[in-house]
Every structure is written in structure tokens, then in C-alpha cells.
Amino acid sequence: MRHFGFMAPERSDEVFAVAPSEIDGNSSISLVGMSLGATLYTPATHGGLAKKLNWLASEIGLTTSVLCLEDAIADSDVHRAEANVVEALDEALADGLALPRVFLRVRAPEQIGRLVEALGPVLTAEAISGFVLPKFGSENGHAYLEATRALAPKALVMPILESLAIAHVETRRAELAAVRALVDEHRDRIPCLRLGGTDLSGLFGLRRPHDSTIWDVAVVRDVIADIVNVFGRAGEALPISGAVWEYYRSSPVDGLVREVRLDHVNGLCGKTVIHPSHVQIVNAMHAVPFDDHQDALAIVDEGIHAGASAGLGGARMNEARPHRPWALRVLQRATGYGVLAPAVTWRDLLHA
């Protein structure tokens, strides 16, 4: 997996001071999670999935896809959707189609066994990367994690934090602590945590409009802040992906752009999207600006005892000790998404 791999080499040399690196099986689990990028959710009932995913990977740079067997499909369509996924992945394997990382969003732990049996050679050939675990919490988390470890030990898993116990303030702290214990036990298989922005909003009867952001929904913002507090602490951070942007191509993208910026400010990386037109926007916004990279390098190179100094161009202060965790995060993000050349912005990547 390599971000912006669709870009012509000469164009890549123009827009990147440091090109994105290849992310593979030898990469750390944290780097894999940081580099998932725009994750496109697709209902598992869609036709032509194999060729569609192949096109999305080669033409617009989709690196991560989730085929949804849960809320995106009707209850009556579950078995049809399962059969459709198996058929699509069989087709991709037989035809040698290059796909993004493919995850299956399941409904319950017992569904994993049924899928593993049906997938057979596809799972053995690692044509899927793993499973997304919705409504993850202390009551079902152990069953989810044990089912995947027993039935598909090489599969990655991505819990979605969106449960009632996490949403409600009186149970949130204890629930997050219990989830943290579960996650720590299985850390080598969990590239990132995902946020169920739609479910969390729905628990309060709320929905953000296209010109607003999830950070404007106060009760959901508070939930996300507490999740970052528990899982995003310096030195022990687990990548946390931004909440789904639940609008299609016809909606203005100003809200999406503001939301991704606020995601970054608050320590999130990656984002769930539901339309291909948003993949390149989200991925482009993850490329590291040149001045951030230079400041991060300076902070790390100088060491924690260096005190304060002016950043590139003298516009801001770099203080070695408190800014070091930020710098290390920036350098990791630069590995996955690259570093923009001076005077290049993320919008320039949309015209590559």
C-alpha cells in the first residue's frame, strides 16, 4: 500500500519534498493504522464489487475499503450480502485484481465464523485484511476479539466506539477503561480505533448538517475528547480515525474540509467516507506541510534538553520537551502520506 501511487513519477517529484513510503507487512501496526487514510464504506450488497474496488485503488488511490454487512444493509439482505462479498473476493483473487485493504464490517461475533468458512481460500490468501467490529464495548469486545483470533489469527481488527455505555456520561469512564484493557491485550492486531459518529449522534437524536462538523455537536465532541484522552496519550497512543462524513458528492465539501482540519487538531488520523469523490480530499489533507516537517525534524534532532527555538521562518516557537510527541506524530504521518514541497498545498494534490 502506498498513498498517491497513481501519480506519475514526474508529478510526484514536483509536489512532494519527501514521497510517501510503501506500507506493508513489515510496517509497525501503529504506522499501518496511521496510514489507512480515507476509508470508503460500501454496502456489501453492491454489484460489481471486485472491479469497482480495483478501479478505485488504481485510479483515485483508495487504500482502505470496508464492505458493510451491518447498518448499511437491510436486515433481510444479510445472507445475500455475505454471498456477494465472497463472490467478489473470489473474483478478485481469480483474476489477480489489485485491491485496497479490504475489511468486512460484521454484525456480531458469531457472523465471523460463518464468513471465515465461506471465504476459505480468499482468507488464506489474505485477500482481505480483517474485520471491523461495530458497537464494540466491554460486553461484546472479548467475544469479538477471541472469535477473530481463533478463526482468523492473521486478520486485523478495527473496533468502532459507538456504544450507549460510551455515549452516556455516567458510564463512559468505566467503559473506556474496560475497552482500553481489551485493546491492550490485542494491540498487535488493532491498527486503529474507529469512531461511530452517526451512531453516537443518533443516540441523542442529532445529526450535523453539511456545513457543520462533528466537533460542533457538543455531546459527541465530548465523547470523542474522552476517547482521545484514554487512547491518544503521548507515548502510548493508538491511532483513532475520524468519524464518518455522511454526505455524497452533491453536497459542498467545505464542511468536510473543516472537519478533517479539526480531526487533525484533536489528534485523529484517517477518516471514514461514503463516496469516492471524498477519498482524494481526505488523503491529500493528510500529506504533511513542509514547515511542519521541518519543525518536527528540528525538535527531534535537537533532543528534549534543547529548550525553545524559532520554527521555520520564525513564525512560531518550538519548545523541545512538550512539542516532541507532536513532532514524532508528524514524522510518522509523513512516512505514510509524504511531505509537501515548499509552497505546495494539499489542494495541489487534487490536480495531480
Q: Specify whether the CB–CB gap between 167 and 137 falls below 8 A.
A: no
Residue partners of 317: CB distance under 8 A and separation at least 6: 308, 309, 310, 311
If we measure between CA atoms, which residue out of 263, 219, 265 comes closest to residue 245? 263
Model pTM score? 0.95
What is the per-residue pLDDT for 271? 98
What is the per-residue pLDDT for 228? 97
Strand partners, 104: 67, 131
What is the per-residue pLDDT for 92? 94
pLDDT, one tens digit per residue, over 217-233 is 999 999 999 999 999 99
Q: How many CB atoms lie within 10 A of CB 238?
A: 20
Low-confidence residues in the chain, pLDDT < 50? none
Q: Specify whether the CB–CB gap between 107 and 70 falls below 8 A.
A: yes
What is the per-residue pLDDT for 196? 96
What is the per-residue pLDDT for 327? 94
* Burial grade of 311 (CB within 10 A; 0-12, 13-18, 19 or more): middle
d(CA 188, CA 29): 6
Domains and CATH numbers, the chain: 1-20+287-352 (no CATH), 22-286 (3.20.20.60)
How far is CA 5 from each of CA 48, 99, 202, 339, rounded to the nearest angstrom? Answer: 23, 13, 37, 14
What is the per-residue pLDDT for 235? 85
If we measure between CA atoms, which residue out of 107, 161, 101 comes closest to residue 129? 101
- Per-residue cell: 65: 475499503
What is the per-residue pLDDT for 352? 65
What is the per-residue pLDDT for 314? 73
Residue partners of 236: CB distance under 8 A and separation at least 6: none
pLDDT, one tens digit per residue, over 272-294 is 999 999 999 999 999 999 999 99
